[in-house]
Amino acid sequence: MSQGIPRISLTNTQIKGVLFDLDGTLADTAPDLVYALNLALNDHEFASVPYEQVFHSASHGSLAMVHAARPELTDTLKAKIQQRLLFHYRNNLGVKSVLFQGMTELLSTLDNKGLPFGIVTNKHAQFCRPLMDAMGLTPRLKSIISGDSTAHSKPHTAPMLLAAQQLSCRPQEILYLGDAERDLLAAQAANMQGGIALWGYISQNDDITSWPSDYQFAHPLEVSQLWD
């Protein structure tokens, strides 16, 4: 499938809803996560790590962040640090997290067009929902699907299809935006249109040319152009 080009000739009305991945797509949550990671490392008498070393791993979960910080540690110790990371993260939800530049305008465009939108994330509800509350987004989201909302998380289709039901859209009418391979695999499996959020936490080791996608977007405002 060609990158950055629709697989079909779309009109504005053929995308009737939009779903977002959370970390690295809808919101820049890495500052909170890296802060919690460094507190957890300090708890175990390890030095803090630079933001630039680990922020790309934020889309892959807390354990991936611990591994990015201290890959040489045993799995047992990584798991202990992960639990401390989650403890500190829970106590600092939304302190440093913000919408990506241009996302406020994109959400306003969707509101103005009457297009429902929501999130499908692998972040568990105990973190996801308070974060959405803290960012003032909960009332605007027609669907909030967390990693534990269904029996399976992305790239399984279960959370994707539940979100489609909540948006009252057919899967093929939904654009799903994400910044990780599993996001695009999930969109493909659910028969949604997949868009790569190039503004997200994509590392130099990610081969995005191998990800199944209908679009690549360098900036949230480019998404709005679908309805121009």
Taking a C-beta distance cutoff of 8 angstroms, is the pair 142, 108 a contact? Answer: no
Residue 1: CB atoms within 10 A of its CB come to 11
DSSP codes, 142-179:
SEEE-TTSSSS-TTSSHHHHHHHHHHT--GGGEEEEES
> Which residues are tagged catalytic?
21
Amino acid at 202: I
Angle between helices 158-167 and 181-189 (to 10 degrees): 70
Residue 214: CB atoms within 10 A of its CB come to 23
Distance between CA atoms of 58 and 212, rounded to whole angstroms?
21
Distance between CA atoms of 89 and 192, rounded to whole angstroms?
32
If we measure between CA atoms, which residue out of 26, 11, 75, 69 comes closest to residue 195?
26
3-state SS, residue 54: helix
∠ CA 16-110-134 to the nearest 5 degrees?
A: 120
